[in-house]
Amino acid sequence: MKAVVVGAGSWGTAFACLLRDNGHDVTLAARDPEQVAAMAETRLNPQYVHLADLRDIAATTIVGAPVKEADVVVVAVPSRVFGEVVAGLPGSAPVLSLTKGLDPTTGERLSTLVRGRPVAILSGPNMADEIVRGLPAAAVIASDDLALGVRLQVAIHSTTFRVYVNEDVIGVELCAAAKNVIALAAGGADGLGLGDNGKAALVSRGLAEMRRLAEVAGARPDTFAGLAGMGDLIVTCWAPTGRNRRAGELIARGSSPAEAATEIGMVVEGLTTAPVLRDLSRRLDIELPITEGVCAVLEGVPLTELLAQLMRREPTTE
């Protein structure tokens, strides 16, 4: 299979390596010509994943990538530019999206921005640094085109990266977006030193929020007990290297959202997704108190005040 991976951040780079290791012809495309030159010269991508070995992976700019000749175009760019990137792709090859978020302009799921070509979404508990180290992981591929999902499953599945097919596109995409917002809150709990009991309660209620939102949007309940839901939520909220968890921790310790993002040095999707998810929930008339609280903190409300508000909420059934 000829694959072009658009986006040479940590996950795009790790996924390019995964495809290469499965015997595919892989091109890794980045926006920054200096990054492309460095990858081509050193066969490394130290800015994002310093352990990734890029031998046998072609490096190029997005403009120069052989997209027309590709069998699949893997898109791993920030949600804020996803629509622009997919709209500019030539040819008609299927798109496999690795981006976890919502379109900040329209509030739509990202797969709905892909037009004129088939689209699939890959999601799950996939920390890039562990993928490049060859540690075991699993993911789901969701698509309205079942044949495409199965074809990609066969192409990507390996002894270290297990792939399942899931036809619940809505559920997988909303889980992928919402878990980053909950991870910001989980990081805040770490930053305040609230302990494992408090953090586990927060994450459990966050999963309930994710399920409540996506069910109203037409998703399947069992998606939230799987890799795209609970699996991805667990690793995002607990992994020390998780960007969203780390950002929440830094904010709890006094950093502004902008300062936290600068210190992390990579895109923190939860910061973009939180207000979009909140606005979507309001349009659907769904109560998401943790998401609302995260947005309030990002807008300047002290985290300790938010915690008190959440704990004072009226008790109810689970």
- Catalytic sites, residue numbers: 179
For 287-302, give the DSSP string: --HHHHHHHHHHTT--
List residues bridging with 305 in a β-sheet: none
Q: Token pair for residue 256?
A: 């502004």
For the four alpha carbons of 243, 247, 248 and 253, in that order, the dihedral sign comes to positive
DSSP H helix total and E strand total for the chain: 13, 8
Q: How far apart are CA 299 and CA 194, in angstroms?
A: 22
Task: State residue 223 phi and psi, 5-degree precision.
Answer: -60, -30
Cα four-point dihedral sign 162, 163, 168, 171: positive
Query: Is 239:248 a contact under the CB 8 Å cutoff?
Result: no
**CA pair distance 59, 5, nearest whole angstrom:** 10
How many Å apart are CA 36 and CA 5, to the nearest integer?
Answer: 13
Place of tokens 């097919």: 165
Neighbours of 253 (CB within 10 A): 15
- Residue 60 and residue 28: Cα distance in Å, rounded? 6
What is d(CA 287, CA 197) in angstroms, rounded to the nearest whole number?
A: 23
